[in-house]
Structure 1
Amino acid sequence: MPASTPRPVGASGPELHDHLTCVAAPATWLSPPDGRLAGGPGGLYVADRRVLSRLVVTLDGAEPEPRDAETLGADRVRFTAARGALAVERVRTVRHDGGTERITMRNDGDGIATVTFEVTAAADLAQISDVKAGDPPPPETPLRDGAVLTGPDGYEVRLEGRTEAALVLAPGDRFTTTLTVRAAPPPVPGFRPAPPDGPPPWARTPLTVRSADPRLDALVAQGVADLGALLLADEGDLYCAAGSPWYLTLFGRDALWAARLALPLGHEPAAGTLRTLARHQGTGHDPVTEEEPGKIPHELRPAYAPGRLPPVYYGSVDATALFVVTLAEAWHWGMPAEEVEALLPAAERALAWLGTFEEFVSYRGSAERLPNQGWKDSSDGIQHLDGTCATPPIALSEVQAYAYQAAMLGADLLEAYGRDGDRHRSWARGLAARFRARFWLEEGYPAIALDGTGAPVDGLASNAGHLLGTGLLDRDEEARVARRLGELNSGWGLRTLTAEAAGYDPLSYHRGSVWPHDTAIAMLGLSRTGHREQAAELARGLIAVAPAFGHRLPELFGGQARRDGAAPVPYPPACRPQAWSAAVSPALVTVLFGLHRDATTGQVSATPLPGFGPMTVTGVRAGGRTLTFTTEDGAPASD
């Protein structure tokens, strides 16, 4: 970010926007563009612990001058530097249990070069939560070839590789050494993020777009690669970690949305996410963890990664409804019938939890742990138009839409397997009637929420985009929401809050910034409700913004209006990659090609959007088939 750009008020965490990141969950390796690790948030992290905090290469005691840095994939980056006639290349690759750095030095001069090569490496074993909070790091311990560093809680780190050499290089000669860092977290009972057993299910035929716009092609490729790099497993079941570096673990809401947006990659991430969350579904009442019977957890972390929340925490008002919707959508997309049936008891428990709310689904829990329990979960994320924060318990508009959709789709799903679903439809119809009576404002759009007093939280917000396509709104209401969403479009994507609100701040977390996944959800809703030109406009914004971030969309960025020649303003601590931002890529494929799978026939149809030129998509996986679609600028696509 340029020095003149202000740091966002309330930005939580160190600045990361200029860092290069390699990911192979649960490991991530990030550093500035020069590749050196020497303070700050950079480092190699494995399972929420920094196992490499210092890595400095010197030649005769001086660091070579950086030349270039290039991302080679989700898990790899190359740095180049030089000192005199000596060229230095560092190829860094992260692995699930650590990483490697291959350092190659070449004499490009005409004479013999005599040089002392040295690598200084150290680990401080800092907790990722402490780094995010900006706490002083623990003392570093030097790492030497073959030595094992053991932390006080049993966390082990080993470095292997040659770290010093006295070299004599003739012209054209090379010297190469590879450093390998391996980490072993201590064995602990309970939940523990584990690497997947193999490559992503789509690895042999990855989702790929070839179009007239290279930005779109690169955005899809990067998003698909990042989703693969963020995959974790629980008892062999795949799910996407929320994001690097702060959230390489399971977040219920994030993982469910990522799986839904990524369904063109196949049903496996959705199925694995659902099975994992079902294993941790609430069974009793616990005021500390906010567990309730049938409730889907918000966040799970292992016991060795302490934070301010319990290791298994249920403070989410929307994950339970999203669980049912994700199961229904995965069923429509071709999830095997026996796998769907095995999850029906968990879906019924989730629907029963929704049914405990007699009026609206709202927060139930302690504001001291998480003040807002929807996706806009910052302390000031839900505000009235005059800038005052809404008081809990808060009933969010989008949560009512998720709950309605869950009850209706859940009823269909249950009846398809011979179970009773009609009582859930009845509950949904009552919720829709109450919503229509209480949430709609005179200005012609639904309130963000109802606060603890029952008063509507006014001001136009991107929450309204999540209502589209859920069935909660009638056709006239959908049209009104579609029109008003245009007022939130920055040109790069939807602002989370209208600029007319007193609390609007384009560089805040949730009060005017742009979140790519939020825009993609609205884009999908617009497409599914027949507002295809508005969907196309949002798609163009997401494609246009991608090059500014190396085609790796961040968690969020500034909501300033798009201007010719200007780039979007980064949000310094944003995660990049983040799962639901990476999942924007397959979501774009869904919208641009108009993909739809008929659960009855098993056929996938495509009705492409006009205005994007000829396009071909390969690697669409549905119901055991891998499909290719080709279209000529909006003409019906052929398989």
Structure 2
Amino acid sequence: MTSPAVPRQPLLDDAVILLHAPTQAWSGRDGDIGDAAIDGVYHGDVRHLRSVRVSVAGSGIETISRSIIDAGTAEFGSVLRGLDDDAADPKVRLIRRREVSAGVVSESLRLHSHRDVPLRFAVTVELAPEFAPMQDVKAGLATAMPWRAEAVAASGTAPGRVEVISADGHRSFQLEAAGAAATIAEAIVLRWEVELEPHSVTDIGWSATLDDDTLVVGAASNAELAVPSADDPRLARWIRQATQDLAALRLVRPADPEDAFYAAGAPWFFTLFGRDSIWAARLALAADPGIAASTLRVLARLQGTKSDPATAEQPGKIPHELRSAPLSLPNEGVHLPPLYYGTVDATPLWVCLLADARDAGMPEAEVRELVPALRAALTWITDFGSGTGSGFLDYVDETGHGLANQGWKDSGDSIQWRDGRLAEGPIALCEVQAYAYEAAVRGAQLLDDLGEDGGAKLREWATALRTRFREAFWVTTPEGRYPAIALDAHGAAVDSLTSNIGHLIGTGILDADEERACAELLLGASMSSGFGIRTLSTGAAGFWPLSYHGGSVWAHDTAVTVHGMLRSGLVTEARLIAGQLVDAAEGFAYRMPELHSGDGRDIVPFPTPYPASCRPQAWSAAAAIVCAEAYAAS
């Protein structure tokens, strides 16, 4: 007896993704949309179209090429051998060009004939509306929502179109296809009768304009990012791809159309994420300095003003994520409100980004406008961040259906002992103490420079935190002496060796000798995969190279370490690690995924994909900018 299939999150690594936030299209390598669980045309957090399939009467479509032109454009080349003569060479070709812009997906189908006789055949495009929520797609539970469609006849020079509307009336799209006859049934079928003369080319095509009146984010105006130069041609290719992807991931809130931020990534995270958007802006500062200031403003407008356990809001706290509707992930037992504050690190990171932006030239008037938000964030760090009163910033989910872990490693099994046991919360993460220390010191300097009071008190608090950290976090295991990943509910140091210690470098919470010791461990065989730093040491019982946070490699995580090393003068170490990321980028055709396997290069010649990894991911793309800085450092 066969047991029923368990719903699974879709795999992503072999798909073709085109995007311009908040719109994206996922397809197979042949260009057709619909065969894989992730396939579809998405706008915001809804999959508007489940499938888009092309067929040619009298011939199969055999794909022979795929060209990714930019973040939103690709061409798929095919031959139509059913329309050929008896010669060996194919003489009839189809070039399918897909373009994704904000709110629009279009395809042009160019038919080439090298035959000596005219050809008459039909081309059809079948499109299946769905309107399934993104969260259902992620859970493997997507089903088509009810929809209705109406064909509108052509008038004058305007082509005919088909208007498709979801049953709730909030989502819709309009199809236009010049010269096509449209049939509406369980799907929408567009049909062209093609007359292809000898040695000629004929173009047909369609476009879909998508709308969702519930969206809380929208497309940002186009921006040209600075492209750092690089002597290494592989790094140069990665930077070009990364800056294209970062430009395509820019979003705004409709109420603040001038203030852009980076969406976290595709496909699941096309929205504002406090931690992700901050780190992406911080790592990409050299290429896109303006987005740091606008990200700060967007998050300041959503900064907490009250205490609400249901949303994890507290006064001064920077939010975790913003969506247009509650997020429910039944496979994970997670149910989040549309505006959710369950993050322990976004608030100190907001202060650090403000300091970085000011150092990079953010006008003083703009900095002064954010002083109230700065004071509120600093007060949250010193007065609200320690829920247990331990003096360390910590977290615990009070609802039972929020995020169990609220640092960047937010999966349920990410905080574990060397023997594999899971740590019991509340949890105080090592890197969060480092962010808080840096925020207090640099926040104090900001206040001093602006003629504001409060700096001395912040420095006293930071000094005391640094002392407490040294007393509580350092552990000695068979792998060496290093800071523990966290303190658990009992104040015990959770003794796994993890990539988290890389986030401490450059913050000031460690002295120079301690930073060098951490760098040496991170470059050691148990942590360095050869394609980046593993999230968990191979010496830990829970290590698994395909574990989301327990042995995999995250590009941004490794880049944060590079970023800190450069600030601390550990240039040689920074270059070594940056070189590993460049090697990884080459293995992923220079579009770095969210994460990849922690398999070592002594085992595999190329990085192994983590098959459910998102891409592009803003902070993974931004890692290229930091690597360019490492390569250029002297």
Work out whether the TM-score is over 0.5: yes
What residue identity is the alignment partner of 2:608? V
Question: CA offsets, 1:465-496, max 9 Å, x none?
Answer: 00000000011111111111112110000000
Answer whether contact 1:44 1:98 (CA < 8 A) is retained.
no
The separation in 2 between residues aligned to 1:381 and 1:254, in whole angstroms, is: 18
2:162 match: 147
The separation in 1 between residues aligned to 2:392 and 2:8, in whole angstroms, is: 31
1:236-635 equivalence runs, <5 A: 236=257, 237-303=259-325, 308-356=335-383, 357=386, 358=389, 359-366=391-398, 367-420=400-453, 421-442=455-476, 443-487=480-524, 488-563=527-602, 566-594=605-633, 608=634
What is the TM-score when the length of structure 1 is the normalising length? 0.88
Answer whether contact 2:228 2:628 (CA < 8 A) is retained.
no
Answer whether contact 2:23 2:104 (CA < 8 A) is retained.
yes
CA shift, 1:142, in A, is: 8.8
Kindly indicate whether residue 118 of structure 2 is the aligned counterpart of residue 86 of structure 1. no
What residue identity is the alignment partner of 1:549? F
The separation in 2 between residues aligned to 1:152 and 1:533, in whole angstroms, is: 59
SS of corresponding position for 1:257: helix
Structure 1 residues 363 and 300: CA distance shift in structure 2, 3 A: same
Kindly indicate whether residue 195 of structure 2 is the aligned counterpart of residue 156 of structure 1. no
The separation in 2 between residues aligned to 1:179 and 1:449, in whole angstroms, is: 54
What residue identity is the alignment partner of 1:371? A
Structure 1 residues 525 and 537: CA distance shift in structure 2, 3 A: same
Which shows bigger deviation, 499-508 or 481-490? Answer: 481-490
1:63-212 equivalence runs, <5 A: 63-84=60-81, 85-138=91-144, 146-154=161-169, 155-161=171-177, 162=180, 163-187=190-214, 192-196=216-220, 198-200=221-223, 202-203=224-225, 206-211=226-231
2:187 match: none
Question: CA offsets, 1:512-568, max 9 Å, x none?
Answer: 000000011111212222222211111111111112211010000000001387221
SS of corresponding position for 1:179: strand
Answer whether contact 2:502 2:518 (CA < 8 A) is retained.
yes
Answer whether contact 2:283 2:619 (CA < 8 A) is retained.
yes
Aligned-residue identity in percent: 41
The separation in 2 between residues aligned to 1:391 and 1:565, in whole angstroms, is: 35
The separation in 2 between residues aligned to 1:92 and 1:69, in whole angstroms, is: 11
CA shift, 1:187, in A, is: 4.4
What residue identity is the alignment partner of 2:311? T
Answer whether contact 1:58 1:117 (CA < 8 A) is retained.
yes
Question: CA offsets, 1:108-139, max 9 Å, x none?
Answer: 22332221111111210111111111004216
Structure 1 residues 63 and 391: CA distance shift in structure 2, 3 A: farther
Kindly indicate whether residue 240 of structure 2 is the aligned counterpart of residue 224 of structure 1. no
Answer whether contact 2:326 2:336 (CA < 8 A) is retained.
no
The separation in 2 between residues aligned to 1:42 and 1:519, in whole angstroms, is: 30
Structure 1 residues 246 and 549: CA distance shift in structure 2, 3 A: same
2:88 match: none
Question: CA offsets, 1:2-46, max 9 Å, x none?
Answer: xxxxxxxx9972111011111100111111101111242111101
The separation in 2 between residues aligned to 1:390 and 1:11, in whole angstroms, is: 28
CA shift, 1:436, in A, is: 0.2
Answer whether contact 1:397 1:464 (CA < 8 A) is retained.
yes
The separation in 2 between residues aligned to 1:252 and 1:381, in whole angstroms, is: 20
Gaps of 5+ in 2: 1-5, 82-90, 152-159, 181-189, 330-334
The separation in 2 between residues aligned to 1:109 and 1:561, in whole angstroms, is: 52
The separation in 2 between residues aligned to 1:63 and 1:424, in whole angstroms, is: 70
The separation in 2 between residues aligned to 1:187 and 1:168, in whole angstroms, is: 43
The separation in 1 between residues aligned to 2:326 and 2:509, in whole angstroms, is: 42
Structure 1 residues 63 and 304: CA distance shift in structure 2, 3 A: farther
Question: CA offsets, 1:48-78, max 9 Å, x none?
Answer: 1112221111111654111111110011111
What residue identity is the alignment partner of 1:429? T
1:4 match: none
Answer whether contact 1:31 1:43 (CA < 8 A) is retained.
yes
Count of residue correspondences: 578
2:87 match: none
2:3 match: none
The separation in 1 between residues aligned to 2:470 and 2:585, in whole angstroms, is: 37
Answer whether contact 1:256 1:323 (CA < 8 A) is retained.
yes
Which shows bigger deviation, 489-498 or 559-568? Answer: 559-568
Choose between structure 1 and 2 for higher RCO, CA contacts under 8 A separated by at least 6 residues: 1
1:28 match: 24
Question: CA offsets, 1:268-308, max 9 Å, x none?
Answer: 11111111111110000111101000000001101387662
Structure 1 residues 210 and 160: CA distance shift in structure 2, 3 A: same
CA shift, 1:578, in A, is: 0.3
Structure 1 residues 343 and 12: CA distance shift in structure 2, 3 A: farther
SS of corresponding position for 1:51: strand
Question: CA offsets, 1:149-180, max 9 Å, x none?
Answer: 11122211111113312222122222212211
CA shift, 1:267, in A, is: 2.4
SS of corresponding position for 1:67: strand
Answer whether contact 2:535 2:550 (CA < 8 A) is retained.
yes
SS of corresponding position for 1:176: strand
Question: CA offsets, 1:75-98, max 9 Å, x none?
Answer: 111111111132111111111112
Q: 1:41 aligns with which of 30, 38, 43?
A: 38
What residue identity is the alignment partner of 1:435? F
Answer whether contact 1:15 1:572 (CA < 8 A) is retained.
yes
The separation in 2 between residues aligned to 1:38 and 1:24, in whole angstroms, is: 20
What residue identity is the alignment partner of 1:545? A
SS of corresponding position for 2:625: helix
Question: CA offsets, 1:333-378, max 9 Å, x none?
Answer: 1111111111111011011011123510000433531010000000
The separation in 2 between residues aligned to 1:346 and 1:119, in whole angstroms, is: 52
CA shift, 1:422, in A, is: 1.1
The separation in 1 between residues aligned to 2:230 and 2:382, in whole angstroms, is: 46
SS of corresponding position for 2:106: strand
Which shows bigger deviation, 543-552 or 487-496? Answer: 543-552
1:632 match: none
SS of corresponding position for 2:481: coil
Answer whether contact 1:393 1:452 (CA < 8 A) is retained.
yes
Question: CA offsets, 1:174-212, max 9 Å, x none?
Answer: 221221111111247xxx11111x211x35xx314241x
Answer whether contact 2:405 2:412 (CA < 8 A) is retained.
yes
Gaps of 5+ in 1: 1-9, 595-607, 609-639
SS of corresponding position for 1:436: helix
What is the TM-score when the length of structure 2 is the normalising length? 0.88
The separation in 1 between residues aligned to 2:503 and 2:58, in whole angstroms, is: 57
What residue identity is the alignment partner of 2:113? N
SS of corresponding position for 1:265: coil
